[in-house]
Amino acid sequence: MKFSYLKSRRFFSGFIGIFTIICIITFAGCESVVEEGSSDEQISLELTLESDGISSAEGMSKSVTGGSGSTVANATNVPVEANVSVAFDADINVSTLNTTTFKVTRVDTSEVLAGTVTYANRVATFIPSRVFVFDTVKKNKIRKGLKQDTSYMVTIAAASIKSTSGAAQGTSNYTFTFKTENLDYGFYFLGPNGEYQKAVPGQYNQYYDSSKPTVVYYHGWQNGSTKNEDFGNDNAFFFNSSTIGSYNVINSWMNKGYNVCIAYWAQWADESEVKDAQAKLWLGNNGKKQMRYMVRGGAYVSLPTTYSVTDLLFEEYKDIFGSSVSGIRFMGHSLGNQLATLMAYKISKGVAAGTLSSNLMPKRLTLLDPFWGKGSETYCGGVYPGAKSVTYMKEMLARDAFALEEIRTNSNIGGWVGDSCTEMRKLAAYYNPWPSFGDDTAKHLYAYNWYAMSINKVVYADKGPGLNGLGAAASDEQIKSVMNWDFTKKAIKSVQYRYDINAGKTTVTPADDTFKQLSGV
């Protein structure tokens, strides 16, 4: 998937000729071209979405006119990863440019966005602070920065902004508004303290180093996550919970040498019926709710495409990672396990066909309290999603020989709520860090809590060849050694094992956990 700006530049002069101000919404790292023109001119930007045959224009975004403050049309469909820039026709004293004289405010809540203002070549740019922070009241985490489907006002305090010669750049405030696009999805890389930067093909990302291995987390069902003012964003590495407490293990993974990445598809996953979200992973024209997504306030918007969520993320995955990536591992929680599996399967087929680099294939796939809906589905060829996933998994294991692990923390997810899919356990290293605390929801979420924290220390089982390790810190080879799949015979082993928690189930940390080996799955 490639984003491109189609630019039609017609510029304007403002503030009674004292300076020319040009308002530009930019991607970080994109070069801004500044020109001057007559007072009746304006700037317009058009953003289109190009995706291998998908016709899905994201709309026209235009700036306001200058001077009087009247507008032609305020910018719309602005990407959430955009920065906001203004250009002057005089050299500016940088000490007069700051987040007070160049301010971005969320219209509906009057929240003033945190950020920084940079200046170069007569262009000032506001860069929003993009970071996850803990909300101690809601016992959750929230995302700071631009959010989708949200209007913002930019205020330029022209009287307080001075040129290098000391001239004020106007006599009053200059304001304009813009609105972000109503759909956001894709791959977000994380920094050690909750910082994030969305991956954009061809653009440098400060939290991604192609020479390092990368862990990619795929979240699950997100019912009710969109219509609130903050937009729900599942984060397996940065969490605040009344049951678990606050923790940040991003830096733990980074210290182990990993890039940390989250694949977001929350607006599609926001359905009251989990099977309606499930269908979108398999097929765009799925016969359920098709590819609709929820926007602020709880309304749904239809996306006219035959592509599935997997298809759309797959296209971005190829463009973002390319052939230079190394040591990919996927984590899929709940419904997200199906997305991780389907992504891996598309990659595997591409590698087998010679159209993709083998570096793109994950070396490890972790299913965290996985969910498969009960019942056969037409979008799965008339079989259970779990059964279809097992078929795909067997094909991949025979061809790609990666490490596969399944972790259960809530038996109900694989019982009365969904399909237990015991056949998948017969392929994987299957273990259960059952917590003795929390309700069903807390136990379900604990799967990624436990696994993310387990990067700090290898958790050992009490039986098996060579005191084999479990958890995120265990090596791929350690996981392979306790899998129920025979890589030599390319078949399920005649005797399968599971590993149940033996000690440590009353504490949150995996550090004191031990497991015992039991026959059967």
Q: What is the pLDDT of residue 43?
A: 26
Residue 21 buriedness (CB in 10 A; 0-12 / 13-18 / 19+): buried
Q: Is residue 139 part of a domain?
A: no
Q: Of residues 102 and 90, which shows the higher confidence score?
A: 102
Give the whole-angstrom CA distance, residue 86 versus residue 157. 12
pLDDT digits (tens, 9 = 90+) for 356-370: 999 999 999 999 999
* The token pair that represents 505 in the structure block: 């189930």
Q: Of residues 467 and 46, which shows the higher confidence score?
A: 467
pLDDT over 60 at 97, yes or no? yes
**Boundary of a domain, candidates 125, 159, 180:** 180
Q: How confident is the model at residue 234 (pLDDT cuts 50, 70, 90)?
A: confident
Q: Is residue 198 part of a domain?
A: yes
pTM beyond 0.75: the answer is: yes
**In this structure, are 172 and 192 located in the same domain?**
no
Strand partners, 459: 470
**In this structure, are 20 and 152 located in the same domain?**
yes
* The token pair that represents 116 in the structure block: 């920084």
Residue 210 buriedness (CB in 10 A; 0-12 / 13-18 / 19+): middle
**In this structure, are 413 and 281 located in the same domain?**
yes
Q: What is the pLDDT of residue 407?
A: 97
Give the DSSP per-residue string, 60-74. Answer: EEEPPPSTT---S--
Q: What is the pLDDT of residue 94?
A: 97
Q: What is the pLDDT of residue 54?
A: 25
Q: How confident is the model at residue 355 (pLDDT cuts 50, 70, 90)?
A: very high
CB atoms within 10 A of CB 225: 18
**In this structure, are 81 and 212 located in the same domain?**
no
Give the whole-angstrom CA distance, residue 110 versus residue 185. 25
Give the whole-angstrom CA distance, residue 342 versus residue 336. 10
Which one-letter amino acid corresponds to residue 406?
A: E
Q: What is the pLDDT of residue 25?
A: 55
Residues with Cβ within 8 Å of residue 332, at least 6 apart in sequence: 217, 218, 220, 338, 339, 340, 341, 365, 366, 367, 368, 370
pLDDT digits (tens, 9 = 90+) for 475-513: 999 999 999 999 999 999 999 999 999 889 999 999 999
Contacts 24+ apart (CB under 8 A), 459-466: 459/510, 459/513, 459/514, 459/515, 460/514, 460/515, 461/431, 461/499, 461/514, 461/515, 461/516, 461/517, 462/502, 462/514, 462/515, 462/516, 462/517, 463/516, 463/517, 464/497, 464/499, 464/517
pLDDT over 70 at 383, yes or no? yes
Which one-letter amino acid corresponds to residue 502?
A: N
Edge-to-edge strand list for the sheet holding 102-106: 75-78, 173-180, 151-157, 102-106
- CATH code, 24: 2.60.40.1220
Total domains in the chain come to: 2
Contact 479, 403 (CB under 8 A): yes
Helix (H) or strand (E) segment spanning residue 485 = strand 485-486
Q: Is residue 95 part of a domain?
A: yes
Q: What is the pLDDT of residue 260?
A: 98
CB atoms within 10 A of CB 360: 21
**In this structure, are 223 and 153 located in the same domain?**
no
**In this structure, are 174 and 53 located in the same domain?**
yes
Q: What is the pLDDT of residue 435?
A: 93
Which DSSP symbol is given to 284? Answer: S
* The token pair that represents 281 in the structure block: 């992973």
- CATH code, 465: 3.40.50
Residue 240's SS3 state is strand
Q: Of residues 151 and 229, which shows the higher confidence score?
A: 151
pLDDT over 90 at 521, yes or no? yes
Calculate mean pLDDT across residues 2-27. 33
pLDDT over 50 at 68, yes or no? no
pLDDT over 60 at 70, yes or no? no
Q: Of residues 463 and 187, which shows the higher confidence score?
A: 187
**In this structure, are 195 and 315 located in the same domain?**
yes
**In this structure, are 175 and 192 located in the same domain?**
no
Give the domain extent around 331: 186-519
φ/ψ (deg, to 5) at 111: -70, 125
Residue 431's SS3 state is strand
Q: Is residue 263 part of a domain?
A: yes
Q: Is residue 31 part of a domain?
A: yes
**In this structure, are 286 and 170 located in the same domain?**
no
Q: Which residue has the tokens 């930067």?
A: 197
Q: What is the pLDDT of residue 29?
A: 35
**In this structure, are 173 and 260 located in the same domain?**
no
Quote the percentage of the chain above a pLDDT of 70: 83
Q: Of residues 368 and 57, which shows the higher confidence score?
A: 368
Q: Is residue 247 part of a domain?
A: yes
* The token pair that represents 454 in the structure block: 């387990």
Give the whole-angstrom CA distance, residue 301 versus residue 53. 21
pLDDT digits (tens, 9 = 90+) for 255-275: 999 999 999 999 999 999 999
Q: How confident is the model at residue 420 (pLDDT cuts 50, 70, 90)?
A: confident
Q: Is residue 138 part of a domain?
A: no
Nearest by Cα to 231 from 308, 291, 150: 150
Q: What is the pLDDT of residue 315?
A: 96
Q: Is residue 140 part of a domain?
A: no
Q: What is the pLDDT of residue 183?
A: 95
pLDDT digits (tens, 9 = 90+) for 291-332: 999 998 899 999 999 999 999 999 999 999 988 888 999 999
**In this structure, are 170 and 205 located in the same domain?**
no
Q: What is the pLDDT of residue 59?
A: 23
Q: What is the pLDDT of residue 462?
A: 65
Residue 160's SS3 state is helix
Among 11-20, 72-81, 182-191, 335-344, whose mean pLDDT is lowest?
11-20
**In this structure, are 172 and 282 located in the same domain?**
no
Residue 212 buriedness (CB in 10 A; 0-12 / 13-18 / 19+): middle
φ/ψ (deg, to 5) at 6: -105, 110
